[in-house]
Chains A and B, each alone.
Chain A
């Protein structure tokens, strides 16, 4: 019974965060002229921005006090409640408009049933992944217990605390769960049954975000994109690294995908609100996993490269020669950075001084000639492992479909947004492969424990790219005159 009450409390908490997200969206949309406000933000954005701002506010408390006191949790909940009341009206208005647009309500009902099933599944699961417990879960318990970031829990290299200097957004979220449990069921204060429920809304937000972005690139195809993503076993399973295992990889994937999509669209349309959202999500990704810094670097690399591929070198030179164009570009970059910088500051402020555990190794040390000469045979091993991974059952056949689809001839040119997405995914996969090549840890161990999780980071964007490609090839354009039946389906 107590578990049911706890589940209900967690669901109410998540609902508050989602509603508060609408209020945050309203606030941030003030950067854009009234006509464009909130046009590009949907329910997924409301949840993601709600979680991000809750994390940021909690991070700020940690930055100042070094600990999350009980009063801090109550203050955060109070803030969520106030913002939720403000966001409620907007949420109702927006969701009504959203539902009216849906033609295939029956198909959405299937998705809804699937989400309910996943919710029930997640509510009964404990944390199962190694990282979920050793990295994120332990931090969550320490935070919920009022442990200090300046104390030995985080700063003693001999404390048995795996990767104690990792980002804290997910542990902060989980620490709310443990605080609720401390209130409701103090006899089992540190029991983690039900924690994966916190990752369940990321599955839903990811689906909604993919549907919305696929629809923007290929109108009418969003639902298929959502289906391909949400049923892929790696997204919702509880095995190591999968979506409901309690690892931070699913939230990271959703944050990164949302950031990249908003930056791609925002840059093309010059939409400040979207660029700001892109920056904020990029920052959220940095506070979710260390790979966030790679994602940020790649976004900053992709922006000029995409521009370069859009126009010839002469036009690029022209842009810099014309003050208006140059200022326009700098303004757009400024709005993106405006979203990111506070997160970078928080991350640096809190984690920079944290020592690594005594048994961890430094990636910086791998950039030595001596080490690089030792690992010259690794690219082949990494490539071989990657090929095996991409056809693994837990991905379904999504990577195979993508590979075949990319061979098909498009009927329309690549839009700058699609090119942006493709470049980013390619760069991210290359960066991760590069990390595995130089890793100071045994390659076999690192590949087997981390590769699938890292590939998950690219799945939301890969799904959007796949569906856009299928739409662009006119794949569903069939000749209706040649009607056939199931009996002749395989006749030819």
Chain B
């Protein structure tokens, strides 16, 4: 502090930079410590205020604070400190040597570095979130997000794996979660019955996440599905032989919006009428 004071007499700007850097570093450190308390589960809130969970930007701010502090500190005793100061000096010189566009590039590059580093520091938290999310999906059948009910197909996978023999073929009825279910249930083979294939073909626009993301605008693209559906030719099949040729022994129905319609039926359990279903695009309100 004494050194900083002496330096302030020569150049007040440096003192303030030193002060600012120190302050930024201090605040960032506090935020990081609080986040550590939250992540480790020691405390989730202090005085009724939720503790922060993310450390990406606080870490970047800590770096910025340290750079300002080191750069403005009057004495450089160690070689590393001298190198850091030299780097900061170069940066300052570069700034002064640039025109408008050059300074914009410099700012944008520093911004790029800051955003990238903030994401990089979040990496352990991201991994943790992936694990937590997967655990949540596989242990609870339903979740409510923004007031909407979401059924987790991940929850049913272990049950389906237990029920369906590992080399069995099954028919899938549902939306675009189907290919993911086919991936998870492998080596069980999933097929679409002709009517269900037509239904899927008419529903490329129908995604709840997309309708939410675009605030319903994506549903305006329904005409595209209608256009191509009208112009597609669909061969007719004898359902019984279609099922027999593929050795289909189960019908798996999944609906992300309603767990009551999710089911797994054995072939003897369902009649042909149940399999037949008029192909029509399913409407989803935004």
Among residues of B, the one whose C-beta sits closest to the C-beta of A192 is B183
A33 at the interface (CB under 8 A from B): no
B236 at the interface (CB under 8 A from A): no
Partner of B134, one of A126, A162, A237, A358: A126
A232 contacts B116, CB within 8 Å? yes
Q: Which residues of A contact B37 (CB under 8 A)?
A: none
Given A397-B108, A444-B217, A470-B105: A121 and B127 interface contact (C-beta under 8 Å): yes
B205 at the interface (CB under 8 A from A): yes
Among residues of A, the one whose C-beta sits closest to the C-beta of B67 is A486
A396 contacts B116, CB within 8 Å? yes
Partner of A492, one of B71, B96, B117, B218: B96
A486 contacts B192, CB within 8 Å? no
A491 vs B98: C-alpha distance in the bound complex, in angstroms? 14
Stretch at the interface among B45-53, B87-95, B265-273: B87-95
A163 vs B165: C-alpha distance in the bound complex, in angstroms? 26
User: Closest CB-CB distance, A19 to chain B, in whole Å?
Assistant: 29
Given A444-B210, A492-B96: A141 and B112 interface contact (C-beta under 8 Å): no
User: Closest CB-CB distance, A181 to chain B, in whole Å?
Assistant: 13
A488 contacts B179, CB within 8 Å? no
Question: What is the 8 Å Cβ interface bit string for chain A, positions 340-363, against chain B (1 contact, 0 not)?
Answer: 000000000000000001110100
Partner of A124, one of B119, B127, B183: B127
Tell me the A residues contacting B by CB distance below 8 Å: 114, 117, 121, 124-126, 128, 130, 133-135, 137-138, 141-142, 145, 152-153, 156-162, 190, 228, 231-233, 237-238, 357-359, 361, 365, 371, 374, 393-394, 396-398, 400-401, 404-405, 407-408, 440-445, 448, 470, 473, 475-480, 482-492
Within 8 A of A (CB), among B221-241: 221-222, 224-225, 227-228, 231-232, 234
A138 vs B221: C-alpha distance in the bound complex, in angstroms? 29
B123 contacts A121, CB within 8 Å? yes
Given A158-B194, A238-B126, A404-B104: A445 and B221 interface contact (C-beta under 8 Å): yes
Q: Which residues of B contact A397 (CB under 8 A)?
A: 108-109, 111-112, 115
B178 contacts A160, CB within 8 Å? yes
A404 contacts B105, CB within 8 Å? yes
Q: Which residues of B contact A358 (CB under 8 A)?
A: 192, 194, 197-198, 201, 234
A359 contacts B200, CB within 8 Å? yes
Q: Which residues of A contact B105 (CB under 8 A)?
A: 401, 404-405, 408, 470, 475
Among residues of B, the one whose C-beta sits closest to the C-beta of A374 is B227
A476 vs B109: C-alpha distance in the bound complex, in angstroms? 13
Q: Of residues A145, A477, A478, which shows the largest number of chain B Cβ atoms within 10 Å of its Cβ?
A: A478
B178 contacts A443, CB within 8 Å? no
A141 contacts B186, CB within 8 Å? yes
Question: What is the 8 Å Cβ interface bit string for chain B, positions 185-200, against chain A (1 contact, 0 not)?
Answer: 0110111111001101
A473 vs B105: C-alpha distance in the bound complex, in angstroms? 12
A404 contacts B108, CB within 8 Å? yes
B276 at the interface (CB under 8 A from A): no
Given A160-B191, A479-B97: A445 and B13 interface contact (C-beta under 8 Å): no
A484 contacts B127, CB within 8 Å? no
Q: Report the interface size for chain B: residues with CB under 8 A from the other chain.
A: 82
Q: Which residues of B contact A444 (CB under 8 A)?
A: 205, 210, 214, 217-218, 220-221
Q: Which residues of A contact B116 (CB under 8 A)?
A: 231-233, 396
Q: Which residues of A contact B234 (CB under 8 A)?
A: 358
User: Closest CB-CB distance, B78 to chain A, in whole Å?
Assistant: 15
Q: Which residues of B contact A470 (CB under 8 A)?
A: 105
A478 contacts B134, CB within 8 Å? no
A485 vs B111: C-alpha distance in the bound complex, in angstroms? 21
A224 vs B262: C-alpha distance in the bound complex, in angstroms? 53
A137 contacts B218, CB within 8 Å? no
B135 at the interface (CB under 8 A from A): no
A436 vs B234: C-alpha distance in the bound complex, in angstroms? 26
Tell me the B residues contacting A by CB distance below 8 Å: 11, 13-18, 67-68, 71-72, 85, 88-98, 101-102, 104-105, 108-109, 111-113, 115-117, 119-120, 123, 126-127, 130, 134, 172, 178-184, 186-187, 189-194, 197-198, 200-201, 204-205, 207, 210, 213-214, 217-218, 220-222, 224-225, 227-228, 231-232, 234, 242, 246
User: Closest CB-CB distance, B217 to chain A, in whole Å?
Assistant: 6
Q: Of residues B18, B93, B187, B210, which shows the largest number of chain A Cβ atoms within 10 Å of its Cβ?
A: B93
A246 vs B205: C-alpha distance in the bound complex, in angstroms? 24
A125 contacts B130, CB within 8 Å? yes
Partner of A486, one of B14, B111, B210, B246: B14
A81 vs B186: C-alpha distance in the bound complex, in angstroms? 31
User: Closest CB-CB distance, B256 to chain A, in whole Å?
Assistant: 14
A476 contacts B94, CB within 8 Å? yes
Q: Which residues of B contact A405 (CB under 8 A)?
A: 105
18 A-B residue pairs with Cβ-Cβ distance under 8 Å, sorted by A, are A121-B123, A133-B179, A153-B189, A158-B194, A158-B197, A158-B246, A160-B181, A231-B120, A358-B192, A371-B227, A393-B115, A404-B104, A404-B108, A444-B220, A477-B97, A482-B93, A483-B93, A486-B72
Q: Which residues of A contact B102 (CB under 8 A)?
A: 408, 473, 475
B14 contacts A487, CB within 8 Å? yes
Q: Which residues of A contact B113 (CB under 8 A)?
A: 231, 396
A479 vs B95: C-alpha distance in the bound complex, in angstroms? 11
A478 vs B71: C-alpha distance in the bound complex, in angstroms? 19
Q: Which residues of B contact A475 (CB under 8 A)?
A: 98, 102, 105
Q: Which residues of B contact A408 (CB under 8 A)?
A: 101-102, 105
A486 contacts B92, CB within 8 Å? yes
A304 vs B96: C-alpha distance in the bound complex, in angstroms? 43
A475 vs B221: C-alpha distance in the bound complex, in angstroms? 47
The 6 tightest CB contacts between A and B, nearest first, are A486-B71, A487-B14, A442-B221, A134-B179, A231-B116, A444-B218
Excluding A137-B183, A444-B214, 20 further A-B contacts by CB distance (< 8 Å) are A121-B123, A158-B242, A159-B189, A160-B181, A161-B179, A228-B112, A231-B113, A359-B201, A365-B231, A393-B115, A393-B119, A397-B111, A441-B224, A445-B205, A448-B218, A479-B97, A486-B85, A486-B89, A486-B92, A489-B17
User: Closest CB-CB distance, A239 to chain B, in whole Å?
Assistant: 9
Among residues of B, the one whose C-beta sits closest to the C-beta of A478 is B97
